[in-house]
């Protein structure tokens, strides 16, 4: 028995090659949450929070049992050797999906594996492997997390957390590409990202470095001023130390800009900071 789950885009869950995803919204929510927490107990309280939030009907416990029964029937229909009760198991206080680790695949775990490999490679200076691994991680995405699943309190938090992981992987992938001097592609991608997320300081920092290293110091300076104006208008704040320090270094044509690697975690020399 093998189960393949996808949550980084439209939700899909196939058991031995056959979909077990229900069409009704709330059972789909329930299955998504169980899949995310495979082999762990999802408590009745957590399910109620996800499905109803603050508006819990008196029938909630019975309704959850009904949803579980429907999911088990779908699982039963996938084959004679498949038991709904054996896969979607009743536990003390809740439910869990009981699938052996070697028979389970979920795109979120694949994404995290490649992201971790990419980070390890980046930290040891192997930027080519870092870029390759992070690209594999990002390619597991086909849309927003849980794209076609109604999100209650629990899944909404999970979606925000996973999206933050995606953005972090994307930032590091671009950082690695800059280190490999793949500057035109990095600049083009960052320009598109900044248009959609103009307040993202990490995107701006990466763009400032890439533009500077490509010989366009004026574009680097302009990007900083655009960010500063946007932050002042929208949030009433100034750019953080990363962009501030990069801006100072660009103005000084600092040699550090041609040698350091970690844009997002860059700590400049004290001499640069003192001149700000």
The list of the chain residues with pLDDT below 70 reads 80, 100-102, 260-276
Name the phi and psi angles at 231, rounded to 5.
-65, -40
* pLDDT score at 268: 44
- Quick one: pLDDT at residue 26? 96
Residues 212 and 220: beta-carbon distance below 8 Å: yes
What whole-number distance in Å separates Cα of residue 120 and Cα of residue 137?
14
Per-residue pLDDT at 276: 34
Two tokens, residue 77: 């229909």
Stated pTM of the model: 0.89
| Domains in the chain with CATH codes | 1-180 (1.10.10.10), 181-276 (1.25.40.10)
pLDDT value at position 260? 66
E-state strands within the chain: 3-6, 12-15, 18-19, 42-43, 88-91, 94-97, 104-106
Distance CA 177, CA 201 (A): 18
Which H/E stretch holds residue 76?
Answer: helix 60-76
In the Cβ-directed half-sphere of 158, how many Cα atoms lie within 13 Å?
Answer: 22
- pLDDT for res 82: 74
Closest to 4 measured CA to CA, from 181, 162, 140? 140
Residues 6+ apart with CB under 8 A from 167: 200
């Amino acid at each position: 028995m093998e189960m393949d789950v996808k949550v980084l885009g439209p939700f899909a869950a196939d058991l031995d090659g056959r979909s077990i995803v229900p069409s009704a919204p709330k059972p789909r929510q329930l299955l998504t949450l169980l899949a995310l927490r495979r082999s762990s107990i999802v408590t009745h309280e957590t399910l109620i929070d996800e499905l109803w939030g603050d508006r819990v009907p008196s029938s909630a416990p019975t309704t959850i049992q009904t949803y579980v029964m429907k999911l088990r029937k779908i699982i039963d229909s996938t084959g004679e050797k498949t038991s709904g009760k054996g896969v979607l198991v009743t536990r003390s206080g809740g439910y869990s999906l009981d699938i052996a680790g070697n028979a389970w695949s979920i795109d979120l775990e694949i994404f995290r594996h490649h992201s971790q490999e990419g980070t390890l490679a980046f930290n040891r200076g192997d930027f080519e492997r870092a870029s390759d691994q992070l690209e594999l991680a990002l390619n597991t995405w086909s849309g927003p997390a849980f794209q076609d699943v109604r999100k209650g309190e629990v899944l909404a938090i999970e979606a925000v957390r996973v999206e933050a992981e995606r953005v972090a992987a994307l930032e590091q992938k671009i950082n690695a590409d800059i280190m490999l001097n793949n500057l035109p592609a990095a600049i083009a991608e960052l320009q598109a990202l900044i248009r959609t997320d103009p307040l993202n300081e990490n995107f701006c920092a990466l763009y400032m470095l890439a533009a500077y290293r490509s010989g366009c110091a004026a574009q680097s300076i302009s990007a900083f001023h655009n960010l500063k104006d946007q932050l002042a208008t929208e949030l009433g704040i100034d750019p953080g130390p990363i962009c501030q320090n990069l801006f100072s270094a660009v103005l000084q044509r600092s040699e550090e800009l041609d040698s350091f690697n970690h844009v997002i975690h860059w700590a400049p020399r004290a001499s640069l900071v003192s001149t700000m």
